[in-house]
Structures are given as C-alpha cells and as structure tokens.
Amino acid sequence: MTQQQTSNQHRVLPLPWVEKIFEKLGVTYGRDFLARWDGFDADAMAAVKYDWCMELGGFFDKPDAIAYGLAHLPAKSPNVLEFRDICRRAPQPELKKLPRPVQDPQAVAEVVGVVKSKLTKLPAVDPKGWALKLKARHERGEKLGSHQVHAYRQALGLDGRQSWQ
C-alpha cells in the first residue's frame, strides 16, 4: 500500500458533504433510503453519517468521483459500501499534456560539442587494470583473499594454467 493510499484511508469526508449525499439519495429514493433509519435517535443518526464520512474518506480529494456516484445511482437504494463502489468506478480525470519543448538547434549543437570535447580528453583506461593491480600485489607477497586471486586470474585468462606452462 502506498503512502497516498494510507493517508486517504485515514481521511474523513466532511459531514456537510455526507449531508448533501443523504439529501440527494433521500430525494431520489424517498422512503426506500430514509426508512433504513426509522426510529434512530439523533446520536444514532450521527453515528450513521460518521460511518459514511469514514467509508467515503478516500474521496476527500476527489469530489468528481462523488459527483459521478450521484449521477450514476442504481435503481435500488445503495448502502454506503455500494455507493463507495460506484464512486470508485468514476473515470480518472484526463491530465493535460505539456507542449513539447522547442529546442534551439544551435544551442543543442554547442552542448553536444562540449560533451564530445570532454569525452575525447578522458584518459584511456585499461578495463583489466584492476586485475593487473591485484596480480602485482599478490606477486609482491601481499595476502589476498582466495576470491580476489580467483577473480584476477580469471579476468587475465590465467585460471587453469600453472606457472611452468
């Protein structure tokens, strides 16, 4: 789970948003929606709305998804989990692409020229220089690990040969 997903899970949708959702669902479904909470006192109804705030908290920064959910209501009155699933099906907003940067051909040529000149001034490096250095240290009597000896011998093509061969 990403940091963004974790922070969205702990967000709570503002209560006025949930009250607007309840208002829309009440108008759309009438008694089918509102009768679910017949007999609930104010505290119990506050707990129901708080549950909606928690369940829909992932849409805190996606009000378009909630608008999508309200615009695509099913024939039967949804509970909070069904409404959340409808909101999750909202299409992702289309991001505008930045225009491609215009490059001055002369400036590009200058930069390429500078890079080429610096590359040609680099000293030549022997790709097996490390192996030759290890071999020299070993021949001077320095104690090397067996993996070091094996590595330089393999790199220099000396593995399997003896000094008298």
Q: In the chain, where are the structural domains located?
A: 3-88, 125-165
CB 13 within 8 A of CB 58: no
pLDDT in tens, 18-55: 999 999 999 999 999 989 989 999 999 999 999 999 99
Cα–Cα distance measured from residue 22 to residue 77, given in angstroms and rounded to the nearest whole number? 11
pTM for the model: 0.54
pLDDT at 21: 95
Cα–Cα distance measured from residue 122 to residue 28, given in angstroms and rounded to the nearest whole number? 75
Q: What is the mean pLDDT of the chain?
A: 87
pLDDT band for position 116 (50/70/90)?
confident
Cα–Cα distance measured from residue 35 to residue 156, given in angstroms and rounded to the nearest whole number? 85
For a pLDDT cut of 90, what percent of the chain falls above it?
Answer: 59
| Radius of gyration of the chain, Cα coordinates, nearest whole angstrom | 35
Q: Tell me, letter by letter, the H, E, C secondary structure of 43-107.
A: HHHHHHHHHHHHHCHHHCCCHHHHHHHHHCCCCCCCCHHHHHHHHHCCCCCCCCCCCCCCCCHHH
**Average pLDDT of the segment spanning 139-155:** 91
Residue whose tokens read 């400036």: 107
Cα–Cα distance measured from residue 33 to residue 124, given in angstroms and rounded to the nearest whole number? 79
Cα–Cα distance measured from residue 63 to residue 44, given in angstroms and rounded to the nearest whole number? 26
Question: What are the tokens at 60?
Answer: 């805190």
